[in-house]
Amino acid sequence: MLSAATTTRVAEARHAVPASTVDVSAFRRAMGSFPTGVTVVTVASDGNMHGITVNSFSSVSLDPMLVLVCLNEASRGVGLIKRARAFAVNVLSAGQQDISRWFASRYRPAGSTMFNGVPFEPGVTGCPVLVDATASFDCRLRQSHRAGDHLIVLGEVVALIHRPQLEPLIFHAGSYQPPGHEHRSARRIAARRSFTHPPAQL
C-alpha cells in the first residue's frame, strides 16, 4: 500500500510538462533545484588571459585523471583554450562570491585586465590559478565536443591544488548559499528519511 508521501509524489509526477512547451527560464529554474559548486575556468594564450564563471563541472575518469566543463560556444575563452590546448578549473571557496560575480559579469573588461585585483599565480600550463580557491585543476586539453549551444571541454589534469580547510561556494535556486548550508540541508534530508522510511536491515 502506498504511503501518503508516495501518493503525493506520484500525483505530482503526472503533471509533467512536455519539453516542447517549456521556455528557457523555466528550464533554468528547474535546473536550479540541483545545488552545485562554482568554478572559474581560466586560460592564458599568446599573452592574453580570460576567465569565466562556470558551474557545469565534473570529474570523468581517475586513470587518467580527466575532468570536463561546459562552456558557451560563443565565449571568448573557447578560442583561447583551443589555441593554448590548456585551461584551469578553480573551485571557488565560500569567501569568493565577488570573484564568482566578477567573472560572470558581461561588463568585465576583455583580456588580461579582467584579472586586475584578482590574486592568482601562473599554473604549470601557464593558466591563471586563483589564490584561495578550495581546489584548482590545471589541465591539458584532451578533447572538445559540440553539444547544442555549448562546448563540452575535456581536460587531463597535470597539476592540482587542494585546500580542504576552505568551505566551497555553493549555488542553489539562483542564489549563493551561506557556509554550512549544505550540511544543514543534509541533516534535514536525513531526518526526513529516518522519519518516513525505517532503516534497512543489514
Domain membership flag for residue 7: no
d(CA 97, CA 10) in angstroms, rounded, equals: 38
Domain membership flag for residue 29: no
Domain membership flag for residue 197: no
Domain membership flag for residue 147: yes
**Residue 69 near residue 41, CB atoms below 8 Å:** yes
Q: What DSSP designation does 197 have?
A: S
Q: Structurally, how many domains does the chain consist of?
A: 1
Quote the pTM value: 0.78
Domain membership flag for residue 200: no
- Which parts of the chain are beta strand (E)? 36-37, 39-45, 48-54, 57-61, 66-72, 86-91, 120-122, 128-130, 135-147, 150-162, 170-172, 175-177
d(CA 31, CA 29) in angstroms, rounded, equals: 5
d(CA 74, CA 40) in angstroms, rounded, equals: 17
Domain that holds residue 141: 36-191
Domain with 94 in it: what CATH number? 2.30.110.10
Q: Kindly state the cell numbers that stand for 126.
A: 601557464
Q: Kindly state the cell numbers that stand for 71.
A: 562552456
Domain membership flag for residue 169: yes
Q: Kindly state the cell numbers that stand for 48.
A: 592574453
**Can you give the pLDDT at residue 129?**
98
Phi, psi dihedral angles at 86 (to 5 degrees):
-160, 160
Q: What is the pLDDT along the chain (202 residues), one digit of tens a residue?
A: 555 554 445 444 457 778 777 677 887 788 666 788 999 999 999 889 999 999 999 999 999 999 999 999 988 899 999 999 999 999 999 999 999 999 999 999 999 999 999 999 999 999 999 999 999 999 999 999 999 999 999 999 999 999 999 999 999 877 888 766 545 544 443 443 333 333 333 2
Domain membership flag for residue 10: no
SS3 annotation, 123-153: CCCCCEEECCCCEEEEEEEEEEEEECCEEEE
Domain membership flag for residue 11: no
Amino acid identity of 195?
F
d(CA 114, CA 170) in angstroms, rounded, equals: 23
